[in-house]
Amino acid sequence: DAGVIQSPRHEVTEMGQEVTLRCKPISGHNSLFWYRQTMMRGLELLIYFNNNVPIDDSGMPEDRFSAKMPNASFSTLKIQPSEPRDSAVYFCASSPDRVAADTQYFGPGTRLTVL
Partner 1 sequence: GESVGLHLPTLSVQEGDNSIINCAYSNSASDYFIWYKQESGKGPQFIIDIRSNMDKRQGQRVTVLLNKTVKHLSLQIAATQPGDSAVYFCAEIVYNQGGKLIFGQGTELSVKP
Is residue 2 close enough to count as binding partner 1 by CB under 8 A? no
Asked whether position 74 contacts partner 1 by CB under 8 A, the answer is no
Q: Confirm if 77 and 20 have CB atoms less than 8 A apart.
A: yes
Nearer to partner 1, 81 or 108 (CB): 108
- Which of 74, 93, 89 is closest to 33 using CA atoms? 93
Do 49 and 31 form a contact (C-beta atoms < 8 A)? yes
Contact status: 18 vs partner 1 (CB under 8 A): no
Q: Please tell me whether residue 45 binds partner 1 under the rule CB under 8 A.
A: yes
Out of 48, 49, 60, 86, the residue judged to bind partner 1 by CB under 8 A: 48
Among 56, 68, 85, 87, binds partner 1 (CB under 8 A): 56
For 50-74, b where at least 16 C-beta lie within 10 A, e where not — what string?
A: bebeeeeeeebeeeebebebeebbe
SS3 state of residue 85: helix
Confirm or reject binding of residue 102 to partner 1 (CB under 8 A).
Answer: yes
Q: Which is nearer to partner 1, 82 or 104 (CB)?
A: 104
5 versus 81: smaller Cβ distance to partner 1: 5
Whole-number minimum distance, CB 103 to partner 1, in Å?
6
Closest to 102 (Cα-Cα) out of 31, 51, 42, 5: 31
